[in-house]
Amino acid sequence: MAFAHLTGIFPRSEELITATRAFERGRADKSALDRLFEEEAQRLVALQVEHGLDYVTDGLLRWQDLLRPLADELPGVHAGPVTRWFDNNSFYRRPVIEAPLEPVGGAALRWTSVRAFEGRPWKAILPSPWAFAALSEDRAYGDDKALLRDVAEVLRAEAASLAAAGCRYIQFSDPVLVARPREGALAPAQLALARVVEGLNVRTALYTFFGDAAPLLPGLLDFPVHEVGFDLFATEVDRLDGRVREQVLLLGGLDGRNSLLEDPQEAAQTVRRVADRLHADQVAVVPSCDLEFLPYEVAVAKVRRLAEVKRLVG
């Protein structure tokens, strides 16, 4: 059985880009910009519904990067230096943690266009605790374990707020585990995520990208989430080893970082091959990463292609 949905930030349309530039130059006011963000989120939801995606997202259109809502809203944290986002020609502002973290909750929810979902099953995306800790600068703790523990509490509160607002699926994104692998990372990363999702009454997923997931299997399949996945454009699929238990396997079979539209037959074949290799009965075909690395129209074309690949996978 196959599903399909998006995995991250969606690019802004040319119209929205023009509006954000005008706002930054003081030529447009915030309320007008907010209205445009809402309208675009609605159009994006409609696109996903039209093509039969199983969960919808608002494209995280207002998020400047995966960590920004937390960097901007957590007490004692601020968005720091412009830092390259992994091996991309894009950047994030590295969160600087100046004081012990407080699990206030609600930050990601405030940056989500909930009205755009109109009651449909919607999906939220958060950084995993391991990723947030690794991608931040710690000036408060000096103790990785304590930092990770408190980051887990923060994300637990965030997840609870999203669930209370009607979210049905939360994906925890973790490019760090695979793109910046560290000896012994899986155990603390798994424990931290376990704390985040403990008692959470929503579907949960761990999605990794930008790096090779093969060395982390089968361990990655032990994470206490309903769905686990990885980027097929970064993973040595011939080295994959493991057996999926009851999880849905998320397979990043459309390249979120290249405009070339994949041949749907070849993409479906690759997805089936990997699913068979890991004995997965249920698969979700997803983009390899956020689609924000593509221009808007190309990303829209990828959504259509995603739906086609999902149909072929069956």
Angle made by CA atoms 109, 112, 117, in degrees to the nearest 5 = 115
CB of 20 to other proteins, least distance (A): 4
Site residues for other proteins, 23-62, by CB under 8 A, read 23-24
Q: How far apart are CA 16 and CA 7, in angstroms?
A: 21
Site residues for other proteins, 244-263, by CB under 8 A, read 258-260
Q: Token pair for residue 36? A: 């445009």
Could you say which DSSP state residue 234 is in?
T
| Per rule CB under 8 A, count of chain residues that contact other proteins | 40
CB of 313 to other proteins, least distance (A): 16
Nearer to other proteins, 92 or 122 (CB): 92
Q: Which of 117, 113, 114, 121 is nearest to 36 (CA)?
A: 113
**Residue 297 interacting with other proteins (CB under 8 A):** yes
Site residues for other proteins, 199-218, by CB under 8 A, read 212
CB of 202 to other proteins, least distance (A): 29
Nearer to other proteins, 183 or 238 (CB): 238
Task: Give the three-state DSSP class for 140.
Answer: coil
Nearer to other proteins, 120 or 273 (CB): 273
Nearer to other proteins, 198 or 241 (CB): 241
Q: How far apart are CA 154 and CA 13, in angstroms?
A: 32
Query: What is the three-state SS of 171-230?
Result: EEECCHHHHCCCCCCHHHHHHHHHHHHCCCCCEEEEECCCCCCHHHCCHHHHCCCCEEEE
Nearer to other proteins, 122 or 233 (CB): 233
Which of 217, 235, 285, 307 touches other proteins by CB under 8 A? 235
Please count the other Cβ atoms lying within 10 Å of the Cβ belonging to residue 118: 12
**Residue 82 interacting with other proteins (CB under 8 A):** yes
Cis peptide before 218 (omega within 30 of 0): yes
CB of 87 to other proteins, least distance (A): 4
Region of 35-43, 181-189, 192-200, 236-244 interacting with other proteins (CB under 8 A): 236-244
Q: Are strands 137-138 and 2-4 parallel, antiparallel or unpaired?
A: unpaired
Task: Specify the residue for token string 């990363």.
Answer: 189
Which of 1, 14, 110, 281 touches other proteins by CB under 8 A? 14
Which of 40, 58, 65, 308 touches other proteins by CB under 8 A? 65
What separation, in Å, do the N-terminal and C-terminal C-alpha atoms of the chain show? 6
**Residue 293 interacting with other proteins (CB under 8 A):** yes
Q: Which residues bind other proteins (CB under 8 A)?
A: 11-12, 14, 17, 20-21, 23-24, 64-65, 81-84, 87-93, 212, 232-238, 258-260, 270, 292-298
